[in-house]
Amino acid sequence: MFNKRYFGKGKEDGGPGKEEEEHVESLFTVLKHINSFILSDYVPWLRPLDLEGHEKIVSEAMRILNGYHDPIVDERLKQWIEGKKKKPEDLLDAFILAKDSNGKPALSVEEIKAQCTELILATIDNPSNAAEWAMAEMLNKPEILQKATEEIDSVVGKNRLVQETDIPKLNYIKCCARESFRLHPIAPFNIPHVSNSDATAAGYFIPKGSHVLIGRRGMNPNIWDEPLVFKPERHLKDGWGSGGVELIENELRFISFGVGRRGCIGAGLGSVVTIMLFARLIQGFTWDAPPNETEIDLSESKDDLFLAKPLHALAKPRLPDALYTQLEC
Ligand code: HEM
């Protein structure tokens, strides 16, 4: 979003600095509370009491996020106004330069700041969670990891990094990511919706005004053979379009991006971010469980659907050295 990183002091390997750690922690605090249960969603007059303390927690996290974002946005705007910047380089520049039909700026400063935060929030949790779970599952099933690695080696080779243009051909990789979304969505339920008229969906009558929560996982044994097992092959079938396997699930047998009017507007970008992150992890390293562990513990956290213990694994580079220092990667 901002073309900017904060490396840790003395971390020559480019590891995250305390600013990045604090930033990511605050983002995940906000995200956690988007999906969490709160009584005042159902009894609105309780809201001023902030019984669960969520407003306080989220306000503090937003204060930290804005503390990082706002100066960057303000400084960038200044650079454009003073003519010090001439070429758009990232999404922030695109927001600043966007014009309405009268040629006036399409977004106010406040709107630019809100859009930046919205996009950062929308893009960070799903791809990282899907890639982490897929890697954890695959470390326990080396034959799947091997197959995924072989696909990348045959489509891309070892002398350049995976690019977005390779995505249509990386069907097995996409099956692994899709399987991760089916089994391990970031949250058990889709974002809550309220029906604004009587409706019937999937055989259920939904009266006007209902608060509708739809399960995201694809666990129905009438639909999925061995639903609890990580089996990427299940997604390989004829009938995918020219782009091959997709991460979106149009039949809603599980929810990756949702569909229809309230479906995710970022399904294309979200798919690319997920696949690129995941494919480059697999292409770039051979992966093993840590030396003192025979397999990865796949227990879910008690509070959410993340891995109970963040994935620790042994990664060894498998590509020519020069590829790890390419700036454009
Ligand atoms: C792998 C990445 C992503 C996943 C799995 C994902 C998933 C979802 C899901 C399940 C919904 C709710 C759909 C519904 O209620 O039916 C949603 C909504 C939304 N997503 Fe995403 N998303 C991803 C990335 C993104 C990105 C990159 C953006 C922005 C560029 C984005 C923007 C949004 C917005 C604005 C909504 C709300 C739409 C509305 O309520 O009208 N998402 N997303």
Q: What domains sit in the chain, N to C, each tagged with a CATH number?
A: 1-107 (no CATH), 123-329 (1.10.630.10)
Can you tell me the distance from the alpha carbon of 139 to that of 191, in angstroms, rounded to the nearest whole number?
A: 31
74-94: pLDDT as tens digits: 999 999 999 999 999 999 999
Q: Which residue puts its alpha carbon closest to atom 35 of ligand 1? A: 265
DSSP character for 288? E
Largest distance between two CA atoms of the chain: 64
Q: Is the CB of 270 under 6 A from ligand 1?
A: yes
32-65: pLDDT as tens digits: 888 788 899 889 999 999 999 999 999 999 999 9
Q: Is the CB of 256 under 6 A from ligand 1?
A: yes
Q: Which residue puts its alpha carbon closest to atom 25 of ligand 1? A: 266
Instruction: Tell me how crowded residue 162 is: count the other CB atoms within 10 A of its CB.
Output: 22
Higher pLDDT pick, 6 / 280: 280
The predicted structure's pLDDT at residue 242: 87
Q: Is the CB of 278 under 6 A from ligand 1?
A: no
Band (pLDDT 50/70/90 cuts) for residue 101 is very high
252 CA to centre of ligand 1 in angstroms: 15
Extract long-range pairs of 215-221: CB within 8 Å, 24+ residues apart: 215/188, 215/189, 215/190, 215/255, 216/185, 216/187, 216/188, 216/189, 216/190, 216/254, 216/255, 217/182, 217/183, 217/185, 217/188, 217/254, 218/182, 218/183, 218/249, 218/253, 218/254, 219/183, 220/253
Mean pLDDT, range 159-163, rounded to an integer: 97
**DSSP codes joined into one string, 178-213:** HHHHHH--SSSBPPPEE-SS-EEETTEEE-TT-EE-
Q: Are 57 and 150 in contact (CB under 8 A)?
A: no
Mean pLDDT, range 126-142, rounded to an integer: 97
Only one residue has tokens 């106010």, namely 108
Lowest mean pLDDT among 12-16, 74-78, 252-256, 266-270: 12-16
Q: Which of 210, 150, 213 is nearest to 187 (CA)?
A: 213
Instruction: Tell me how crowded residue 210 is: count the other CB atoms within 10 A of its CB.
Output: 15
DSSP character for 274? H
Q: Is the CB of 265 under 6 A from ligand 1?
A: yes
As annotated, the binding site for heme includes 264
C-alpha distances (whole Å) from 112 to each of 1, 70, 115, 142, 254 are: 12, 10, 5, 45, 33
Residue 271 has pLDDT above 80, yes or no: yes
Q: Which of 140, 135, 142, 215 is nearest to 176 (CA)?
A: 135
Q: Is the CB of 5 under 6 A from ligand 1?
A: no
Q: Which of 127, 268, 134, 260 is nearest to 191 (CA)?
A: 260
221 CA to centre of ligand 1 in angstroms: 27
Only one residue has tokens 């309230």, namely 262
Q: Which residue puts its alpha carbon closest to atom 33 of ligand 1? A: 264
Q: What does the H/E/C string look like for 238-273?
A: CCCCCCCCCCCCCCCCCCCCCCCCCCCCCHHHHHHH
Can you tell me the distance from the alpha carbon of 149 to that of 282, in angstroms, rounded to the nearest whole number?
A: 6
Q: Which atom of ligand 1 is nearest to the CA of 181?
A: 5
Mean pLDDT, range 300-328, rounded to an integer: 89
| Burial label, 180 (beta-carbon count in 10 A; 0-12, 13-18, 19+) | buried
Percent of the chain with pLDDT over 90: 79
Only one residue has tokens 């292409």, namely 283
Q: Is the CB of 284 under 6 A from ligand 1?
A: no
266 CA to centre of ligand 1 in angstroms: 6
Residues 6+ apart with CB under 8 A from 302: 308
As annotated, the binding site includes 264
